[in-house]
Amino acid sequence: VRLKRAPAVWGDSAPDYSLATLGSAPYRYLYTLLFVDDKITGFYEYDMVRVKANILKVVEEANTYFNQLRLGIVVVDVLQTMRSNLSLYGFQEYRRQRFCVDSPESQELI
């Protein structure tokens, strides 16, 4: 049986993944520390309470999909970078500067 693929629509119910075979895989949690750039915080008028509330709405929506696969996203915190247009490479540089990552051991974590 092949199910029709369609893009997810914000607010719609998550598809039923009950046909997925997970065996006895345990439930896993992905603990995340999320960083938001200046454009996102500016959109919410630099009100971090509103930023966090709206980011958590997105995570809650994502969890409706992931929970069926025995995976849950846990947000430890949402931090502001004070930079705009933060790309993956830009974030890597931000992290190096912010956490003074200079040792060879810490390079493995990046």
pLDDT tens per residue across span 7-18: 666 677 777 777
Domain count for the chain, please give it. Answer: 1
Who's near 20: CB < 8 A, 6+ residues apart? Answer: 68, 69
Q: Is residue 93 part of a domain?
A: yes
Asked if residue 60 is part of any domain, the answer here is yes
Query: Does residue 15 belong to any structural domain of this protein?
Result: no
Question: What pTM value is reported for the model?
Answer: 0.65
In which domain, by residue range, is 70 found? 28-107
**Taking the chain, what is the end-to-end CA distance rounded to the nearest angstrom?**
41
* 62: in domain: yes
Task: Establish if 79 belongs to a structural domain.
Answer: yes
* Residue 42 belongs to a domain: yes
Q: Is residue 90 part of a domain?
A: yes
Q: How does pLDDT run across 55-108, given as a tens digit for each residue?
A: 999 999 999 889 888 999 999 999 998 877 777 787 788 778 877 655 555 555
Which two three-digit tokens encode residue 31?
A: 């603990």
64 contacts 14 by C-beta, under 8 angstroms: yes
